[in-house]
Amino acid sequence: MQTARTYTSIHYLTYFLLCILMYIGCTKGPDSHDQQATLQDSFALEGVTVAQLQEKLRQGEFTSEQIVKLYLDRIARIDKSGPGLHSVLETNPDALSIARALDAERAKGHIRGPLHGIPVMLKDNIDTGDKMLTTAGSMALSNHYAMEDAFLVKRLRDAGAVILGTTNLTEWSNFRSRQSISGWSSRGGQTKNPYVLDSNPCGSSSGSAVAVAADLCTIAVGTSTDGSIACPASMNGVVGIRPTIGLISRTGVIPVAKSLDTPGTFGRTVRDATILLNALIAQDEKDPITLTNKQRHHEDYTKYLDAKSLKGKRIGVEQFMLDSPDPIGEVLREALDDMKKLGAIIVPISYAQLYSNILASEHIVMKYEFKVGINQYLSSSSSEFKSLQDIIRFNEKNAESIMPYFGQELMIEAQATKGLESEEYIAALYQLKELGSQLMEVMDIHQLDAICGAGSGTYGPAAAAGWPCITLPMGLVNDIPVGITILSTPYSEPKLLSIAYAYEQISQKRTKPKFLATNKNNL
């Protein structure tokens, strides 16, 4: 999930303006620093890509163990102290030994693939059957060790990745309160935006996006119910891929809503986020929706990364975004001009109201499915708490430390639901499916290859309909990154990734963070 706006049926224009305010005005949360600070230290792996790391390993410039050590040192220097980003909840105590074992494999000529020896961060709602906790940022699960790896974690280990650590998030993936603070959890405190420390990092996958942006790792895994990958990718200047629901297994991921949830990937480049995506895609019998992708997924999505792929592509953009005089609108129009230079055809469309109409239904689906999903997860876990009601009671008993800034009314609403046979739930789920049909009609009428834009009005419809989207940098507004999101129909990842890659190559809009204490609007 992303921000509290998901839960009220507000007009789309108001919705877009809220997104603008997230950039123009800072969202000060707990634990903000007042000092003006920049971090201009040298880091041997600054901005490095997965391919560059592999080349360093191949040439013997570094071992995987040395790479892991460099990242661990940087985490200690700028995440736990220095600017104090609080993006990493826990580092893997076995990371160095795992890296040494992978170095030994390499020395014998056994290289598992492009992720062999590469450190990866995981959002702290993804089970790791090791010495690290899995807590969804909640103190209620502060003693919870998963009994086994999530399916996607097994995939990463098999690919030779080093699980470097777990990242902070908006607690319970932002399904606790309408007043929640993006990037804050009772276990991890406030994640900070590395571009402007007292600005909103967005969420709920705040820590994963910040860790990639701040060079604490090269790639990271997040999860998304609504905007939990797109929004933090946008506001932290990285690439975030939310794939079609069903490409990546959710087994072993603490759920919000089964109809909306999917893991996704972060990288500083489209190629890196795609390499990580490749490793995660597989069929999983324990998550039946993944069995539907067998004939639809591609073994290597990097083969679609074509810098010339925008030629002749018809890209739809919401009309009022094209006309908007605000700073984000200006940056978006510059991005569209870049696309036109590569031969894209920009088509004004009107689809925003379709999403505005189903916001209430989206929330209904979330609250019904959250209760069922959390109860199923906890009942088979090693946690002492076996139900959502147990979590609610624990939070009430420990309200001073768990709820100092916001409550848990969303959990209470979910607890009050009566099951997935409810007519209210079935009707709401139907509305989400109807949105997909309506979006498909828009695509067909205008003969579109994709839709793009800025903010929740672009990635929100994709999430609600179960469609894939990719978000990548398109510039800065008042020192804070703003991203462009591109969406298209289910299983259209090859086309989406190619469009995003072509735009990335011509625009080159990512800039490294400066760790500013505040932006000019707050001086």
C-alpha span between 373 and 306 (Å, rounded): 39
Is 199 an annotated catalytic residue?
no
Residue type, 367: K
| Distances in whole angstroms, Cα of residue 359 to Cα of each of 8, 317, 353, 465 | 7, 20, 10, 12
The tokens describing 124, both together, are: 């702290």
C-alpha span between 150 and 474 (Å, rounded): 33
C-alpha span between 359 and 340 (Å, rounded): 33
Task: Name the active-site residue from 182, 204, 381, 498.
Answer: 204
Task: Name the active-site residue from 56, 64, 87, 123.
Answer: 123
Coil vs helix vs strand at 405: coil
Contact present, 192 and 206 (Cβ < 8 Å): no
Q: Identify which of 132, 131, 100, 94 has the alpha carbon closest to the alpha carbon of residue 117.
A: 100
Is 433 an annotated catalytic residue?
no
| Distances in whole angstroms, Cα of residue 310 to Cα of each of 161, 320, 322, 404 | 33, 23, 19, 49
Q: Identify which of 136, 235, 139 has the alpha carbon closest to the alpha carbon of residue 192.
A: 235
C-alpha span between 74 and 196 (Å, rounded): 19
Q: Which residue has the tokens 């009566």?
A: 418
Residue type, 20: I
- Backbone φ, ψ for residue 211 (5° rounding): -60, -40
| Distances in whole angstroms, Cα of residue 95 to Cα of each of 119, 129, 135, 272, 289 | 8, 14, 20, 21, 32
Q: Identify which of 333, 344, 336, 340 has the alpha carbon closest to the alpha carbon of residue 310.
A: 344
Contact present, 233 and 164 (Cβ < 8 Å): no
Ordered DSSP codes for 187-254: TTEE---SSBTTS---SSSHHHHHHHHTTS-SEEEEEESSSTTHHHHHHTT-EEEEPPTTSB--TTB-
- CA 5 to chain centroid: 17
Q: Which residue has the tokens 């979590």?
A: 391
Is 228 an annotated catalytic residue?
yes
Instruction: Spell out a b/e string for 372-411, using b for 16 or more CB atoms within 10 Å of the CB, else e.
Output: bbbbebbeebebebeebebbbebbeeeeeebbeebbbebb
Catalytic residues: 123, 204, 228
